[in-house]
Amino acid sequence: MREDTFDAGRWRDRLYHDTERKHGFDGQTGAAFTAWQDAFREDLRRVLGHHLIRENAPSATDPRQTDKEMHPGYVRQEWTIQTERGVRVPFYLFLPTAVEPPYPVVLTLHGHNETGKELPAGECQDDAQRKEVREERRDMAVQAVQRGYAALAPDMRGFGALADAADRLAGDRACTALQKQAQLYGRSLAGERVWDTLRLLDFVEEQSVFDTDQIAVTGHSGGAAVALFAAALDERVSVVAPNAYFCTFRDSIVAIDHCECNYVPGILRLGELWDVAGVIAPRPLGITTGATDTIFPVEGTRRAFEKLQTIYAAIGAEDRCDLHVGEGGHRYYPDGVWPFVASHLSSDADSATE
């Protein structure tokens, strides 16, 4: 190859190696470890655009209940909250009928899915979605409430009720259009989704039926990304169980073509994904992935997890960091997520059988 021929792969490698990670973990312990986390959080908020979103955010979430349905073993309510001016986020709230409040809480965040919160709620519109629920176990909110937890399942921006039909008609996916527009203002769709999740935590704190000392978050794929970033920023989350996302940025988000809504401009100037996850320490963090996941390769997940273990070990919390690899591809793994959650989050209800 001629020296003046552009090689995109070589350019990406050079950029990755030459970019200084401002908050790359460097063995800090004690007070220095806490200072590292605090500094990382502050810059992470900025990269996600939260200082800009806050300018448009009301202090009150103004919760409104819009519907209620009874199901065997639980009640499903539908609510909306205001997360910034002009944005009301709809979500399902599942409450177990066999458990007395206050309920431990699990936020269940869906992945790249056009119907949004309907899939974690087990609501299917066609055979493809029925297969996702039956074979890929995407009905996370139903799984949570069956285990005695209150579960919140919101629409993520760009999906469900938060997708603009006009963007689809113009040829873009709604999430793609929203990402392009957000970047013009120094924001990102990922940052907006994380912001909405933090406002859901505000809602949880405002309701007396919830045990605010026991809040877990899980998510699949893009929802797991939001779960990780939200937990890194907010210590109200006590247990974190991301599914089918945790990897190195280099092995997945950089190397493999993802939807635009997975990209956070400037994130690699702060740290790799194991550094972001390390900000969660010493809170329990259970990573779940599939052995044959083609978009978040397990080799990259194992590399990232080894680095993450080093961070947890630095503060004597290595027993609070776990990796479960399921036999399969890019799907949700209840047998990896729920035993980990149950070991750190209590519930009076009997666990559902798989």
**β-strands 74-84, 87-96 pairing:** antiparallel
- The alpha-helical segments, DSSP class H, found in the chain are 8-18, 30-47, 50-53, 127-136, 140-146, 165-169, 174-183, 189-206, 222-233, 273-278, 298-314, 334-344
DSSP per-residue string spanning 151-218: EEEEPPTTSGGGS-HHHHHTTS-HHHHHHHHHHTTT--HHHHHHHHHHHHHHHHHH-TTEEEEEEEEE
pLDDT score for 52: 95
Query: Do the beta carbons of residue 121 and residue 92 sit within 8 Å?
Result: yes
Amino acid at 114: E
Amino acid at 222: G
Residue 131 CB neighbour total at 10 angstroms? 12
Tokens of 101: 């409040």
pLDDT score for 102: 96
Cα angle vertex 102, ends 97, 104, to 5°? 85
Quote the CA–CA distance of 282 and 316 in Å, as a whole number.
8
pLDDT lower than 70: segments of the chain: 1-3, 168-169, 347-354
pLDDT score for 230: 98
Quote the CA–CA distance of 277 and 19 in Å, as a whole number.
20
Q: For residue 130, report the phi and psi dihedrals to the nearest 5 degrees.
A: -60, -35
Give the pTM: 0.94
CA separation, residue 310 to residues 26, 170, 277, 281, 314 (Å): 10, 47, 12, 11, 6
Amino acid at 120: P
pLDDT per residue as tens digits for the range 123-139: 988 888 888 888 899 99
pLDDT score for 56: 87
Domains of the chain: 45-344 (3.40.50.1820)
pLDDT score for 347: 59
Q: For residue 104, report the phi and psi dihedrals to the nearest 5 degrees.
A: -65, 150
State CA 39 to chain mean position distance.
Answer: 21
